[in-house]
Amino acid sequence: MKDEITFDDFQKLDIRIGTIVKAEVPEWSHWVMKLTVDFDKEIGERTIFAGIMKHYKPEEVEGRQAPFIVNLKAKKMGSEGDLSQGMMLMASIFDKSGDPEGEEPIFLNVDKKVPNGTKVT
């Protein structure tokens, strides 16, 4: 098994459901999409970059809910130094070669619409 973490490590992750209210492809990007995600009043809106551009169009993801890790340290992205303020969780299907370029990201869906900011436990 790959690097195991303890239950205490897992509990440090703050995973929340958010709604993608805006999705766009930055001019400098060849693989990431810039998402504006609403997590409601407690957390507010966040900018989160996701490597989904090769598989989804912005209009296909706007309005969708997904789980995001919201307590990651912000990371600079691209030539303009935009900050990614979290990480979207997705399933990854690899082509038969196992090449990361062949990875297909699949949305993790909730059964029904939940309030933005709902904690995933």
The C-alpha atoms of residue 99 and residue 94 are separated, in whole angstroms, by 7
Name the CATH superfamily housing domain 7-107: Nucleic acid-binding proteins (2.40.50.140)
pLDDT tens digits for 28-86? 998 899 999 999 999 999 999 999 998 999 999 999 999 999 999 999 998 878 999 99
Counting residues of the chain whose pLDDT is more than 70, the rounded percentage is: 93
Q: Which residue has the tokens 């919201």?
A: 70
Long-range CB pairs of 5-14 (<8 Å, 24+ gap) are 12/71, 13/69, 13/71, 14/69, 14/70, 14/71, 14/119
105, 55 in Cβ contact below 8 A? yes
Please give the pLDDT value at position 1: 64
- The residue that leads in pLDDT, 78 or 14, is 14
Which tokens is 73 given?
């340290």
Q: In the chain, what are the domain boundaries?
A: 7-107
